Amino acid sequence: MQTQRWTRVSEVDVGGSNGMMWVPAVDIMTVGRIYRIQVLPDGHRQQRWFPDGVPAAGCTADGAPTLSRNGSPLVMPELAVGALIGRIGGSTADDVVDKERMFVFSIGQYCVFQVPEVPKAGALFLTGNEARAFVNLFKGTLKVSIEQAL
């Protein structure tokens, strides 16, 4: 495996029941740059958070595949409830993903990606994959690191 050097761009807490669906993480993502996003360990354990209905142990940033939101669409329906996801573009107020203005992608516990071409550029926002109706019921936070390749 090739060794890559990284520099930290940001570290944010994602989640909680503050009513904000998307948490700002990085003001400007540079088109063509390679970034690494990862959930930091909590000591020797994986961090966990608690979407509504998840078992008492919670779930990791990879989500809870046994949960469903019948009748309430997830941001990324192909992913598990509670999976950590990212979006480039838009604002904290955007609930609906506009694929002409935004790039939405899965992160889970670990992700390396290259920022796509314009118009899908702008700020990076993070959230748990959840239906809007359940956002205020989402408990817990994950400490997430965003790094840029040198």
Express each pLDDT in 26-84 by its tens digit: 999 999 999 999 999 888 889 999 999 998 999 999 999 999 898 889 999 999 999 99
Q: Determine the 3-state secondary structure of 83 from DSSP.
A: strand
Report the domain count for the chain.
1
Is residue 88, in this structure, part of any structural domain at all?
A: yes
17, pLDDT greater than 70: no
Which are the contacts of 144, defined by CB distance < 8 A and separation ≥ 6? 11, 12, 13, 14, 25, 37, 38, 39, 40, 61, 84, 126
Is residue 1, in this structure, part of any structural domain at all?
A: no
Instruction: Tell me the residue range of the domain where 59 lies.
Output: 6-149
pLDDT of residue 72: 83
pLDDT of residue 104: 93
pLDDT of residue 99: 79
133, pLDDT greater than 90: no
What's the mean pLDDT when you consider all of the chain? Answer: 91
CATH of residue 32: 2.60.120.430
Kindly state the tokens that stand for 58: 């919670």
Residue 2 — very low, low, confident or very high, per pLDDT cuts 50/70/90? confident
Is residue 110, in this structure, part of any structural domain at all?
A: yes
110, pLDDT greater than 90: yes
CB-based burial label for 51 (10 Å; 0-12, 13-18, 19+): buried
